[in-house]
């Protein structure tokens, strides 16, 4: 191939990928770099930015409101992630069978995943509003004490975790279902021949095959939990008494209510660092565990 033809083919290739490359640069890399530079400045969106070095990061470490938001986020993560993984696994095992109308069941389970956050927020308010919510009406009919739900600082985050679980469990179910269908049936049949019951076959044969999927699902759901914003925004707006104010909602408040864009950018990069550290740590631990098991 002549050099001229190579150049023409190279330019043709770049002509095809250039639009997508520009979109990636414009919508991801450039904003990320700009946000980092902004985190080193004090800017309210109107005046001239003032360089402050690492002052925003120092303020972030000592901010009690941010610490409270981190605590609320950790609580939500502890409630949501294990429940979503276990529920998704259980539903996947139940649907990985030859049962009547299995396609309908799979569709019904996946349907909440495609519902918008705004619709989920409206449904949450309809169900758990202390005055006219459906749940309290049912409790009233049954003669049971009514609850504060979204207006109770002790219960609001639990309600949000439940509704998030309703909307996100379908994702883990689909992932686990696909993984279960890739496991050779001969492995389970061999375990049954050796005298293992259903639970033993699942725990010692099926579940170890799902370890990589479990790691992926755990990391993904943890990242989603750390980034919780939309359901809080459409239901409690961080209340009552700040009990549902998560890190991302606190970030949004700092940027678009308090107009502290530099500080909000520093919080965003702190959140990014934590997310990256969790992903790398879990991945390394999983690989070491896999290597150790093979050894």
Q: What is the full DSSP assignment across 142-195?
A: TTPPP--GGG-TTTHHHHHHHHHHHHHHHHHHHHHHHHHHHS-HHHHHHHHHTT
Q: Based on the fold, state whether residues 79 and 17 are members of the same structural domain.
A: no
Q: Which domain holds residue 122?
A: 54-288
pLDDT for position 292: 53
In tens, the pLDDT along 211-220 reads 889 988 998 8
The total of structural domains in the chain comes to: 2
Q: Quick one: pLDDT at residue 207?
A: 86
Do 10 and 129 belong to one domain?
Answer: no
48 lies in some domain: no
98 pLDDT exceeds 80?
Answer: no
Pair 92, 181 in one domain: yes
Same domain, 159 and 184: yes
Claim to verify: residue 175 and residue 31 sit in the same structural domain: no
Q: Tell me, yes or no, whether 30 lies in a domain.
A: yes
- 146/59 same-domain check: yes
Ranking 74-78, 111-115, 248-252 by mean pLDDT, the lowest is 111-115
Both 30 and 64 in one domain: the answer is: no
- 208 lies in the same domain as 107: yes
Q: Residue 79 above 60 pLDDT?
A: yes
Q: Are residues 78 and 180 in the same domain?
A: yes
What confidence score (pLDDT) does residue 229 get?
A: 93
Going by pLDDT thresholds of 50, 70 and 90, the confidence category of residue 289 is low
Hey, how many other C-beta atoms are within 10 angstroms of the C-beta on 271? 18
| Residue 243 confidence class, pLDDT cut points 50, 70, 90 | very high
Whether the predicted pLDDT of 37 surpasses 80: yes
- Residue 293, domain member (yes or no): no
- Yes or no: say if 149 and 130 are a contact pair by the CB < 8 Å rule: yes
Element (H, E) at 51: strand 50-51
Report the CATH number at residue 215: 1.10.3720.10
Instruction: Note whether 12 and 146 are same-domain residues.
Output: no
Of 29-33, 105-109, 208-212, 263-267, minimum mean pLDDT range: 105-109
Q: Domain check: are 252 and 135 in the same one? A: yes
The C-alpha atoms of residue 182 and residue 247 are separated, in whole angstroms, by 38
Q: Nearest Cα to 169, choosing from 92, 243, 281?
A: 92
More confident residue, 82 or 20: 82
């Amino acid at each position: 191939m002549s050099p001229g033809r190579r150049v023409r083919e190279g330019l043709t290739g770049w002509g095809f990928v250039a639009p997508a490359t520009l979109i990636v640069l414009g919508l991801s890399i450039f904003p990320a770099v700009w946000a980092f530079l902004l985190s080193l400045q004090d800017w309210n969106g109107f005046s001239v930015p003032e360089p402050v070095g690492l002052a925003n990061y120092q303020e972030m470490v000592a901010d009690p409101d941010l610490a409270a938001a981190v605590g609320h986020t950790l609580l939500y993560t502890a409630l949501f992630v294990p429940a979503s993984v276990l529920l998704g696994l259980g539903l996947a095992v139940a649907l990985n069978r030859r049962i009547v109308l299995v396609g309908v069941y799979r569709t019904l389970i996946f349907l909440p995943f495609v519902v918008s956050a705004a619709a989920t927020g409206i449904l949450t308010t309809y169900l758990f509003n202390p005055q006219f919510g459906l749940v309290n009406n049912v409790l009233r009919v049954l003669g049971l004490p009514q609850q504060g739900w979204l207006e109770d600082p002790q219960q609001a985050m639990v309600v949000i975790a439940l509704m998030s679980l309703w909307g996100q469990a379908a994702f883990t179910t689909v992932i686990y279902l696909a993984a279960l269908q890739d496991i050779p049936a001969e492995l389970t049949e061999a375990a049954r021949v050796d005298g293992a019951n259903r639970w033993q076959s699942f725990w010692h044969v099926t579940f170890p095959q799902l370890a990589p999927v479990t790691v992926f699902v755990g990391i993904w759901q943890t990242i989603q939990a750390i980034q919780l914003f939309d359901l809080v925004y459409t239901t409690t707006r961080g209340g009552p008494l700040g009990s549902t104010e998560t890190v991302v909602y606190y970030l949004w408040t700092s940027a678009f209510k308090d107009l502290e864009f530099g500080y909000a950018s520093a919080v965003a990069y702190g959140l990014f660092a934590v997310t990256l550290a969790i992903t790398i740590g879990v991945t390394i631990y999983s690989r070491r565990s896999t290597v150790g098991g093979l050894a």
